[in-house]
Amino acid sequence: MDGTGGLDTSQTRSLRHAESGSYNFFADGDLLLAKVTPCFENGKKALAKGLLNGVGYATSEVHVIRPDIRSVYPRYLLYLLSSEHFRAVGISNMTGAGGLRRVPEETVLNYRVPIESVSAQKLIANFLDRETARIERLIAKRESFLSLVEEKKTALTVLAINGSILDGLAGGEPGWFGTLPADWTVRRAKFLFRERDTRSTTGEEELLTVSHITGVTSRAEKDVNMFLAESMEGYKLVFEGDVAVNTMWAWMGALGVSSLDGLISPSYAVYAPAGTHFTFRYLDLLLRSRPFVAEVNRRSKGVWSSRLRLYPDAFLDIPFPVPTIDIQQKILAALDVATERENKLATASVKSLDRLREFRSALITAATTGQIDVATWGKRGQTDRRLDKIEEELAAPHAAEQVEAGA
């Protein structure tokens, strides 16, 4: 997590299990710092405490730092590792290529602690505990509000795929999509799509990726931490308008309509539209909706939930609601109107979170490097005034939401 980090200690294993793998051992009082990108940049770190039997083990992609309490106060060191200056030093010294760049151990060990007095370090840590507490509460509040906005947008999507957003009279065929208007038709995917298995002869087309978050996009736009094959000859070709399915992660919603020509892994599935039954956007909305993903989950096969696969016969057997193109366009127009306000609220919340995190980061950096006098800063109320200003700037867009919620 960002900020000063955190540690998930919910999983326990036997020591014999740990010895059989490649892990870094640590104990209560140790600091764990992510070494690989993008986890390091995202501030992944933790101070270990309350461990079962006082020990634990973690991935080898973390630095385990054991503070010498005679010269450094652990919580001050945790804040120092969260400072902008330390992050900048770590990033500038990363080694490796692409998504496998790491912060070397020497960079951490050679970093100079700006405040040498342990008593002063403790004062700074106590100050930051106190001053960042309100920032953390506001961040949690904004994140919770943002989650509510996203849930509202998801609910609107569900209303869109079965036409409820148009306030039409239900009475048609029920299914995973809900109950449809009486004049809508339902057809199985095998009548709407055909499986495409055209292979690249050169492997030089643009490589695409299929994600449950962003759908079908160019891999060049993603921060993917996986090696590329030496040659992509034999990869499956995808054309604009095709449905691409990540067979292994379809149960999470990793599928969608491609807006690009390109190629994808030969283990994925590609389905070409058999006619003009859907607009691009309505079909993508349908495929990535929560009800459709639940239906995919139900039809996928595998021993474990994390190993489910959506095979072509299962996909092609799924019934699809097929409104007319005119109705699809009306649905999308109504959805745009309904989500406009939610998008504005989401944008305002994201800006608020960015400002709060920037302020927290700047405060931590200033305190840990001795740029501010922690003895007088809090008494003068600088933190409160800065946070009051941030909240005031966001009061207007959120006031409408609060009034509606209380109506």
Domain annotation covers residue 333: yes
CB atoms within 10 A of CB 166: 16
As a whole number of angstroms, the distance between CA 37 and CA 99 comes to 6
As a whole number of angstroms, the distance between CA 162 and CA 176 comes to 10
Please, what sign has the CA dihedral across residues 372, 87, 29, 113?
A: negative
Do 377 and 407 fall into the same domain? Answer: yes
* pLDDT recorded at residue 404: 42
Please, what sign has the CA dihedral across residues 381, 385, 388, 390?
A: negative
216 within 8 A of 256, measured Cβ to Cβ: yes
What single-letter amino acid sits at 129? D
Among 64, 85, 113, the domain boundary falls at 113
* pLDDT recorded at residue 375: 82
User: Helices (H), strands (E): how many in the chain?
Assistant: 11, 17
* pLDDT recorded at residue 278: 96
Among 298, 322, 346, the domain boundary falls at 322
Do 79 and 198 fall into the same domain? Answer: no
**DSSP letters spanning 362-396:** HHHHHHHTT-S-HHHHHHHTHHHHHHHHHHHHHHH
3-state DSSP call for residue 297?
helix
Please give the structure tokens belonging to residue 380. Answer: 């003068």
**φ and ψ at residue 316, rounded to 5 degrees:** -70, -10
Domain annotation covers residue 211: yes
Domain annotation covers residue 174: no
* pLDDT recorded at residue 402: 46
Do 142 and 73 fall into the same domain? Answer: no
Do 353 and 342 fall into the same domain? Answer: yes
Domain annotation covers residue 275: yes
What single-letter amino acid sits at 50? G
Mean pLDDT by 10-residue block, N- to C-terminus, for the chain (407 residues)? 60 67 82 88 87 83 90 94 91 82 91 91 93 89 90 92 82 87 93 96 91 88 59 92 94 94 94 95 95 95 83 96 96 94 89 89 92 78 72 57 40
Domain annotation covers residue 159: no
Do 85 and 129 fall into the same domain? Answer: no
Domain annotation covers residue 166: no
Do 21 and 60 fall into the same domain? Answer: yes
Do 316 and 257 fall into the same domain? Answer: yes
Among 300, 322, 344, the domain boundary falls at 322
Please name the residues in contact with 336: beta carbons below 8 A apart, sequence gap of 6 or more.
none
Per DSSP bridges, beta strands 215-218 and 236-238 are: unpaired
* pLDDT recorded at residue 107: 92
pTM exceeds 0.95: no
Do 125 and 211 fall into the same domain? Answer: no
Cα 260 to chain center, whole Å? 23
Do 189 and 317 fall into the same domain? Answer: yes
What single-letter amino acid sits at 338? A
241 within 8 A of 257, measured Cβ to Cβ: yes
- The CATH number for 189's domain is 3.90.220.20
Do 253 and 339 fall into the same domain? Answer: no
Range of the domain at 297: 185-322
Domain annotation covers residue 171: no
* pLDDT recorded at residue 1: 40
Per the structure, how many domains does the chain have?
3
Domain annotation covers residue 176: no
Kindly report, residue by residue over 223-262, the tens digit of the pLDDT: 555 556 677 899 999 999 999 999 999 999 999 999 999 9
In angstroms, the first-to-last Cα distance of the chain is 36
CB atoms within 10 A of CB 283: 20
As a whole number of angstroms, the distance between CA 61 and CA 335 comes to 44
Peptide bond preceding 266 in cis form (omega within 30 of 0):
no
Do 215 and 309 fall into the same domain? Answer: yes
